[in-house]
Structure 1
Amino acid sequence: MKKAKRRSEKIKYGTVSLPIPLIEKVQKRIQGTGMPSVSAFVAFILRQILSSPNPNDKTNLIEKGEEAELAKRLKVLGY
């Protein structure tokens, strides 16, 4: 069983490269939302995706009816 991280423990960070046009789209998208940075937004989205109860069960990643909304959101982000 994994130990829960204490708030006093430092989290290490890495670097992920994204295309500049995508970064610019995310910057526009998060303006006025309270999201402090592109990095924070990407971390938030990845946490949402990876918090599925069973990451190997691809049937639970997208509920029925959410696919069209997800496609719209990805298009806005440049995918």
Structure 2
Amino acid sequence: MSDKKVSIPESLYEKVKERCEGAGFESVSEYVTFVLREVVEEEEEEEKEFSKEDEEKVKERLRALGYMS
């Protein structure tokens, strides 16, 4: 896998740099990679959750089967 570069504003870089030093990361890049992975994983988990429509369909089916009243 080849590394790609992303540009961020210098002010944001400085804030991230402060955070990564206090969090035990060796570089801003390492910290940003960690944070982005966490965000992407969280988004993917949210996509797997039921929508309100899906939840209502399940409830309707359970009512039809007599499991809910």
Is the shorter-chain TM-score for this pair beyond 0.5, marking a shared fold? yes
RMSD: 2.8
> Secondary structure, in 3 states, of the residue corresponding to 1:57?
helix
What is the number of residues matched between the two proteins?
50
Q: 1:15, CA displacement in angstroms?
A: 0.6
The 5 Å alignment of 1:1-79 reads 11-52=1-42, 54=44, 57=47
Work out the CA distance in 2 between the residues paired with 1:24 and 1:47. Answer: 20
**Structure 1 or 2: more helix by fraction:** 2
The alignment partner of 1:35 has SS state of coil
Once superposed, which parts of structure 1, at least 4 consecutive aligned residues long, lie more than 3 Å away?
52-56
> Of the two structures, which has the highest relative contact order with CA contacts closer than 8 Å and spacing of 6 or more?
1
Deviations 1:16-44 (A, max 9, x none): 00000000011111223220111111110
Residues 12 and 28 (structure 1), Cα distance of their counterparts in 2 relative to 1, 3 Å cut: same
- In 1, Cα distance between equivalents of 2:47 and 2:8: 27
Q: Which runs of 5+ in 1 are unaligned?
A: 1-10, 61-79
Which protein has the larger Cα radius of gyration, Structure 1 or Structure 2? 2
